[in-house]
Amino acid sequence: MTEFRYSQTSLNRLNTCHNDLITICKKAILISPVDISIVCGHRDKKAQARAFRDGFSKLRWPQSNHNQWPSRAVDLAPYRDGEIRWSNIEGLHLIAGLILGIADTLNIKIRWGGAWKGVLNPPDAFNDLYHFEKIV
């Protein structure tokens, strides 16, 4: 099995997150069968406005967990051959299972954007398969 490591860019993004999310993500990369990119941790006001405008968030500043310091949310995506694989649904589900399983093992409560209410979202729901947030 290939050992993956986060790039410095991913680590910089991850280091803007709550310690529990950092712990989960660092454990995940060590056992993941796919490479993972940290797409987003903390979002400032400008980045949140852009995410809202572009349809990547349903929330305005400062309502998103990404807007907290440290961020209570992190976005992850499969990464291969030097690029993020945005459309790799299988990889996104694999990462979700890994992250949720590690969080459960560590007794850290998190929520995944593919199952806002604990079950897979219906097709007409806002599916944010990249998104994980700490429940406080």
Q: Is residue 107 assigned to a domain?
A: yes
Within-domain flag for 56: yes
The DSSP line for the chain is -------HHHHHHHTTB-HHHHHHHHHHHHH-SSEEEEEES---HHHHHHHHHTTS-S--TTSSGGGSSSBSEEEEEEEETTEE-TT-HHHHHHHHHHHHHHHHHTT--EEETT-TTSSPPPTTS---TTEEEE--
Residue 61 lies in a domain: yes
Residue 115 lies inside a defined structural domain of this protein = yes
3, part of any domain: no
The encoded tokens of residue 74 equal 């992190």
Is residue 38 included in any domain, yes or no? yes
In a domain? residue 2: no
Residue 81 tokens read as: 């051959």
- CATH classification at residue 113: 3.30.1380.10
pTM listed for this prediction: 0.95
Integer Cα distance of 41 and 87 in angstroms = 20
Domain that holds residue 126: 8-134
The model's pLDDT over 3-61, given as tens digits with 9 standing for 90+, comes to 999 999 999 999 999 999 999 999 999 999 999 999 999 999 999 999 999 999 999 99
Neighbours of 32 (CB within 10 A): 21
Distance CA 23, CA 66 (A): 17
**Is 1 a member of any domain?**
no
Give per-residue pLDDT as tens, 58-114: 999 999 999 999 999 999 999 999 999 999 999 999 999 999 999 999 999 999 999
Count the domains in the chain: 1
